[in-house]
């Protein structure tokens, strides 16, 4: 069976005790969704480097990683001592994986900028950043054309319930986008879309939140008063459930605030038990 190909942006390579790992944003992962952040892949089985593109193959997936889309801020959470250890491999690395990792560490440490490979990556990153900015602007314009067809609404093309997808809004005469924020709760994570009045050129604010119930179900628990309808498109390949109502792949459904009340009243759940049950309420 042919493996799916996922194109990566904002990606970085890691190595620890000889074990490699890749993280970054995948354009269309067959299981995780579209434009999803992949925290780590499964084990590496093969790799190749050609024309400034790293091909990173795991058991189930092939990841295409152009150098120009490598993260400009690598190893933010890696301790300085280990970054120095990685950077010192730059002259001795005998494979492309280690060479890329060493160059990433040099970029993180702001050193060896005159090394030919490090310099080449940084020049490509400037090109990639411009391309990604233009791509995002074009995607936002497309979303604006869709959302302006609905009044007082938020619009989401859902392909990843657990991480959330970009939300477009048309509220109080304003049109814009808000990126999701995942809030880690004690018993249940939630996905938040929040915008305060006056934080950008658009004066309106919004607050829209939901609980991800597994990979295919969204249960809302907060709509700000200015949101009169939520327009949800199932951009995945299997049925999506929004407050208990099914949306087939490719379909769009419109929901009003009263459809979220059941979600608002539902308790946080942990392993199928409510907080009320867990703490012995009557």
Q: Summarize pLDDT for 231-266 with one digit per residue, the tens.
A: 999 998 889 999 999 999 999 999 998 865 544 433
DSSP of 194-263, one letter per residue?
Answer: EE-TTSSS----EEEEEEE-TTSEEEEEEE-TT--EEEEEE-SSS-EEETTEEE-TT-EEEE-GGGGHHH
* Whole-number pLDDT of residue 261: 53
Which pair of tokens denotes residue 163?
Answer: 């991480």
The reported pTM is 0.78
* Whole-number pLDDT of residue 29: 85
Q: What is the CA radius of gyration of the chain?
A: 22
- Most distant CA pair in the chain, distance: 70
Q: For the chain, which ranges sit under pLDDT 50?
A: 262-282
């Amino acid at each position: 069976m042919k493996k799916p190909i996922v194109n990566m942006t904002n990606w970085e390579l890691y190595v620890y005790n000889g074990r490699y790992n890749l993280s970054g944003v995948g354009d269309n992962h067959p299981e995780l969704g579209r434009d999803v952040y992949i925290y780590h892949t499964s084990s590496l089985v093969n790799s190749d480097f050609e024309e400034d593109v790293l091909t990173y193959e795991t058991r189930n997936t092939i990841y295409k990683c152009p150098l120009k889309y490598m993260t400009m801020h690598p190893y933010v959470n890696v301790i300085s001592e280990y970054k120095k250890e990685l950077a010192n491999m730059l002259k001795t690395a005998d494979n492309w994986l280690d060479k890329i990792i060493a160059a990433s560490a040099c970029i993180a440490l702001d050193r060896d900028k005159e090394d030919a490979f490090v310099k080449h990556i940084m020049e490509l990153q400037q090109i990639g950043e411009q391309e990604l900015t233009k791509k995002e602007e074009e995607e936002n314009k497309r979303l604006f054309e869709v959302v302006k067809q609905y009044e007082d609404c938020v619009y989401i093309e859902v392909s990843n319930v657990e991480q959330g997808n970009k939300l477009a809004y048309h509220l109080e005469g304003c049109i814009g986008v808000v990126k999701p924020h995942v809030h880690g709760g004690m018993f249940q994570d939630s996905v938040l879309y929040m915008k305060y009045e006056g934080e950008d050129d658009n004066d309106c604010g919004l607050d829209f939140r939901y609980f991800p119930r597994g990979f295919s179900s969204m249960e809302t628990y907060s709509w700000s008063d200015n949101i009169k309808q939520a327009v949800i498109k199932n951009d995945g390949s299997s049925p999506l459930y929004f407050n208990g109502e099914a949306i087939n792949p490719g379909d769009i459904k419109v929901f009003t605030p009263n459809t979220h009340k059941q979600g608002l009243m539902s308790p946080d759940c942990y392993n199928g038990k409510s907080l009320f049950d867990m703490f012995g309420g009557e």
